[in-house]
Structure 1
Amino acid sequence: MSSECEGKDSWPELVGDEGKDAAATIESENHLVNAVIVKEGTFVTADFRCDRVRVWVNKRGIVTKVPIIG
């Protein structure tokens, strides 16, 4: 899936972290992506993009899913 994209493509170590901190880490580790914080339950498009990482957070802003390129 994300093997077509350049740079680091997943951040399992960020699950449980603050969303804003996770987004900053992702963008510092792969300068080709924009990290977008998304609240659980939000509808999003299904298109795949090498320049996007969705950071899924709960009500408290804590990362709940492994952020991956897509």
Structure 2
Amino acid sequence: MSEVAECAPLYLTVEEAAAYAGIGIGAMRDYVASADPPPLLMVGSKRYIQRAGLARYLEDKQTWHYKASDGK
């Protein structure tokens, strides 16, 4: 019998994605319901957020960005 290595799931529930991102569930639900949602997988009426695309999506939604100490 082959063994499947335990690893992080590719997709997260809305609740898991909120916890992973460190934001509230309501905020994550708002992002998912928006006209520009994070990368999603729909299974019936369930929505699963792609783990790999979530950080990139939230970085694009930031209203400010860090600057390097050398001003670049």
Common fold by TM > 0.5: no
Higher helix share: 2
> Which one has more relative contact order, counting CA pairs under 8 Å at least 6 apart?
1
TM-score (norm 2): 0.32
